[in-house]
Amino acid sequence: MEKRVAIVGAGISGLLACKYVLQIGFNPIVFEADDGIGGVWRHTIETTKLQNPKETFQFSDFPWDSSLKEDCPSSQQLLDYLNSYAQHFSIIPNIRFNSKVIDIDYVVGGSNEEMKSWELWSGNSSPFGSKGTWHITVEDTKKLSTEVYKAEFVILCIGKYSGFPNIPEFPPGKGSEVFTGKVMHSMDYSALDNEVAAELIRNKRVAVVGSEKSALDIATECANANGVTHPCTIIQRTAHWILQDFNIGGINLGHLYLNRFAELLVHKPGESFLLSLVATLLSPLRWGISKYVETYLKLKFPLKKYGLVPNHSFLQDISSCQTAVLPEFFFEKVKEGSILIKKSQSFSFCKQGLIVNEEPKPLETDLVIFATGYKGDQKLRSIFKSSIFQNYINGSGDSTVPLY
């Protein structure tokens, strides 16, 4: 039986998967739709930086170059690091660039009973024990031709923060079709060349819809370009906890949350009685740490003044990866008036711009950018040709934890 391995995506996970598959003696093929490695890090706005200190965001067997002094490297510095990693471990020859996977199908003779009886492979049985073959339809994005590749094992490294933007839906007559300006998603804005993006926002009245990292970065970039003459307005529904860095009153945030002991503080689905008991007994500590961080952030930033105090705990945000590190001089921009913040549970479009909170006067706007996230489940579901696998992604009502 052949043991062909295919990997979809050459971002961080794809590079890591390829490196380990090579180490155990296989010769994988990696399909990458772009013309280079890096995944979402190839498409960021100019000012985007790593949120983590670089020491907490590196391969265990390939540290950052000692000459790099920045604690939080830029997106270009991260791409350079990833390229060095790929060159060092001879990963590049296994990557087929400009190769977009259109769909994946599992082909087996007879019925589909084998697929219906599968559970997710957990690494404790043979990865090549099935009778069928994966058929991977790949489009050459340069020649616009397609080819079908076969493999016995497929590793998906496609991520969830790209490909399928989450665009709000509006009633008829209240959507972007009535707006005379331009509307786009942060995914499309981030994909622009830096010069093109700068020209797009220059001297424009920009509204950014969202409250997390992309929204904050884009708003700051617009404020840097236009100042108080054309302030950028952030329209947010839910405030999230924001950080300046990982130093919380002299304590590294990693010592509070990003370690194995901190995992004991949180209840998890399917946990044993002992782990449940430990998490329960440590609940006062869990509550105290969260309150300490929240108090520190409320004292450090003018969150109350601008209506940015979240209605939920810091623990909830960091557990769901919804905290964000502020761009440089964010609150200085808010204070001077080049960034305006509007809280809104609903808004709609009109000819001149946006109607926020049903206010009689519209927010006059030239450009609206949705920083409203992605549909990761739809992206993963769409790559499978078989409805059986699509249903696996949907999950069932009694699932302990949904895939998305």
H/E element, 284: helix 283-300
**Domain coordinates of the chain in residue numbers?**
5-161+376-394, 176-244+301-370
Residue 262: φ, ψ to 5°: -60, -25
List, for residues 9-38, the tens digit of each pLDDT value: 999 999 999 999 999 999 999 999 999 999
If you average pLDDT over residues 292-307, what whole number do you get?
95
Does domain 176-244+301-370 bear CATH number 3.50.50.60?
Answer: yes
Helical residues (DSSP H) of 166-248, grouped into ranges: 186-190, 194-201, 213-226
Q: What SS3 state is found at 189? A: helix
In the structure encoding, which two tokens stand for residue 400, read together?
Answer: 């302990």
H/E element, 22: helix 12-23
| CATH of segment(s) 5-161+376-394 | 3.50.50.60
Question: In the predicted model, is pLDDT for residue 305 greater than 60?
Answer: yes
- Distance, in Å, from the CA atom of 162 to the CA atom of 69, rounded to the nearest integer, reads 30
If you average pLDDT over residues 253-262, what whole number do you get?
87
Give percent above pLDDT 70 in the chain: 92
What is the secondary structure of 54-71 as a DSSP string? Answer: GGGSSBTTBPPPTT---S
Pairing of strands 133-140, 99-107: antiparallel
Question: In the predicted model, is pLDDT for residue 225 greater than 70?
Answer: yes
Q: What SS3 state is found at 241? A: coil
Reported as a pLDDT band with limits 50, 70 and 90, residue 52 is confident
- Please give the angle made by the CA atoms of 86, 77 and 193, to the nearest 5 degrees: 100
Q: Which of 225, 226, 231 is nearest to 208 (CA)?
A: 231
pLDDT of 248 reads 92
- Distance, in Å, from the CA atom of 17 to the CA atom of 246, rounded to the nearest integer, reads 29
Question: In the predicted model, is pLDDT for residue 246 greater than 90?
Answer: no
Question: In the predicted model, is pLDDT for residue 393 greater than 90?
Answer: no
If you average pLDDT over residues 221-227, what whole number do you get?
96
If you average pLDDT over residues 364-379, what whole number do you get?
92
> Which amino acid is residue 129, in one-letter code?
G
Is it true that 5-161+376-394 and 176-244+301-370 share their CATH fold?
Answer: yes
If you average pLDDT over residues 266-286, what whole number do you get?
92
What's the whole-number average pLDDT of the chain? 90
pLDDT of 56 reads 84
pLDDT of 41 reads 93
- Distance, in Å, from the CA atom of 234 to the CA atom of 215, rounded to the nearest integer, reads 7
Reported as a pLDDT band with limits 50, 70 and 90, residue 136 is very high
